[in-house]
Amino acid sequence: MLTQIINGRILTPQGWLKDGSVLICDGKILEVTNSDLAVIGATVIDARGMTIVPGFVSMHAHGGGGHDFTETTEEAFRAATMAHLKHGATGMFPTLSSTSFERLYQAVDVCENLMKEKDSPILGLHIEGPYLNPKMAGTQYDGFLKTPDENEYIPLLEHTSCIRRWDISPELPGAHDFARYTRSKGIMTAVTHTEAEYDEIKAAYAVGFSHAAHFYNAMPGFHKRREYKYEGTVESVYLTEGMTVEVIADGIHLPATILKLVYKLKGVENTCLVTDALAYAACDGTVPIDPRYIIEDGVCKMADHSALAGSLATMDILVRTMVKKANIPLEDAVRMASETPARLIGVDDRKGTLAKGKDADIVILDKELNVRCVWSMGKIVPGTDILLHK
């Protein structure tokens, strides 16, 4: 079916296009043009007064809609993905938190099956842990934490090609060998839950750690030991040119001032917006709360208030937060939610921007930056067809 979205302000790789149109067919973008003339035979959707942007790429989310990806069932994967899809995440990399390798194999099988489906929004798997520094991992991963073991991770990565990202603590014994191996497989490797200081971060970057997961969270900044002062992981990542970052831009995990600082120092091309969402994100109805957690102040916390445990955010919330609280230009906020993650994780040949030949993953935002309509591979996502009934 030929569909034409007209009269909207369109974000293209070249910048804003006022009152143009996007023509889509068979899941692809046929053209992005400054003409608002209706095409004969096309279903025309009027986006007057609204903003047309590329679909968001979510590369760090543990769940949503009442389900966690560590359930490792197709039902959980579908439900959580759909919950985020309704909020504009047209590309998903389901995140597995620290768990057993038995479950990782199960998740791989589920992910591979879903990726084979036509027009699937699931693009690959993201693993966080279980190779984490126990001092920085809190208590939520008790029983699973360990040091990197090539007898575990090599067989898994030889078994599948769906794992596109893996995050571990770089200071652990064997972490550098792990990163060399994952880099050889083209897998994005990130530092996370770490105490690493400058020399350790610099060495980690050299062997393949290219990214910092949930920057500022679960890592130290500038600090003292006795009478002397030391740079933390945060300053070390800033000083490591080429290392990219992601921020949980829900306005709770990091204040607006820090979001501005990351944007200023790392820039749009090196910064991604991520939700780090748990099962309780985008959830309609009541979900039993794991007794280890509480939901308070719009975020998920450890029950003992020792740390934040994860967010309730969706990708559209991140964009609104960056624009309305951190005063970041809308085009830059959108790029950090779409173009940059697509490029860094290697799907920018088809995702991340509105350009001819790319997948028709499109989000329409109203003046308040609320999602009014979402297309995934040229098909309107159920429950997001508000614009058609305005």
Question: Is 218 known to sit in a ligand binding site?
Answer: yes
Question: Is 246 known to sit in a ligand binding site?
Answer: no
| One-letter amino acid for residue 362 of the chain | I
Angle, helices 150-159/175-184, rounded to nearest 10 degrees: 10
Closest CA to 217 of 194, 240, 188: 194
User: Could you tell me which residues come within 8 angstroms of residue 228 by beta carbon, excluding any fewer than 6 positions away?
Assistant: none
Instruction: Report the distance separating Cα 153 and Cα 272, nearest Å.
Output: 26
Catalytic annotation, pick one of 250, 276, 332, 361: 276
Cβ(95)–Cβ(126) below 8 Å: yes
Question: Is 139 known to sit in a ligand binding site?
Answer: yes
User: Could you tell me which residues come within 8 angstroms of residue 343 by beta carbon, excluding any fewer than 6 positions away?
Assistant: 352
Question: Is 223 known to sit in a ligand binding site?
Answer: no
Helix (H, G, I), strand (E, B) or coil at 79: helix
Question: Is 89 known to sit in a ligand binding site?
Answer: no
Question: Is 309 known to sit in a ligand binding site?
Answer: yes
Question: Is 231 known to sit in a ligand binding site?
Answer: no
Angle, helices 175-184/198-207, rounded to nearest 10 degrees: 30
Known active-site residue 276 = yes
Helix (H, G, I), strand (E, B) or coil at 157: helix
Q: Residues marked as binding?
A: 128, 139, 193, 214, 217-218, 225, 253, 308-310
Active site residues: 276
